[in-house]
Amino acid sequence: MRTTIFDIAKEANVSIATVSKVINNTGRISEKTRKKVLEVIEKHNYTPNLLATALTSKYSYTLGLMMPNLANPFFGEIAKSVEDRARELGFSVIMCSTEYDAEKEAWYFTLLQKKRVDGVIIISGVENEDAILGQKARAGMPIALVARDIPTLPINTVCVDDFLGGYMAARHLLQLGHRNMGMILENIRAARERLRGFRKALEEEGLTLEDRYVAEGEATIENGKLFAHRLLDKKPSPTAIFATNDILAIGVIRAANERNLKVPDDLSVVGFDNTILATITDPPLTTIAQPMSLMGSTIVDLLVQEIKGEETNKQRIILVPELVLRGSTKEPRQVAQQEGSLAQPSFSGG
Ligand code: RIB
**77, 186, 193, 195: residue to mutate for ligand 1 pocket, most atoms within 8 A of CB:** 186
User: Which one-letter DSSP state was computed for residue 212?
Assistant: G
**78, 188, 195: residue to mutate for ligand 1 pocket, most atoms within 8 A of CB:** 188
Nearest CA to ligand 1 atom 9: 147
Q: What is d(CA 158, CA 161) in angstroms, rounded to the nearest whole number?
A: 10
Domains of the chain: 5-48 (1.10.260.40), 62-161+292-320 (3.40.50.2300), 162-287+324-338 (3.40.50.2300)
pLDDT at 284 over 90: yes
Q: Is the pTM of this model over 0.85?
A: no
Handedness of CA 32, 38, 44, 46 (dihedral sign): positive
pLDDT digits (tens, 9 = 90+) for 58-85: 889 999 999 998 889 999 999 999 999 9
| Pocket around ligand 1 at a 6 A CB cut-off | 72, 74, 147, 186, 188, 190, 219, 245, 272-273
Nearest CA to ligand 1 atom 6: 245
pLDDT band for 19, please (50, 70, 90 cuts).
Answer: confident
- How far, in Å, is the centroid of ligand 1 from the Cα of 115? 28
pLDDT at 244 over 50: yes
- How far, in Å, is the centroid of ligand 1 from the Cα of 202? 23
**CA distance to 162, 206, 322, 336, per residue, from 104 (Å):** 27, 45, 33, 51
pLDDT at 248 over 80: yes
- What is the three-class DSSP state of 99? coil
Handedness of CA 145, 150, 154, 159 (dihedral sign): positive
Average pLDDT over residues 159-164: 98
Q: What is d(CA 252, CA 242) in angstroms, rounded to the nearest whole number?
A: 9
pLDDT at 349 over 50: no
Residue 175 CB: number of other CB atoms within 10 A?
11
Instruction: State percent of the chain over pLDDT 90.
Output: 67
pLDDT band for 129, please (50, 70, 90 cuts).
Answer: low
pLDDT digits (tens, 9 = 90+) for 292-306: 999 999 999 999 999
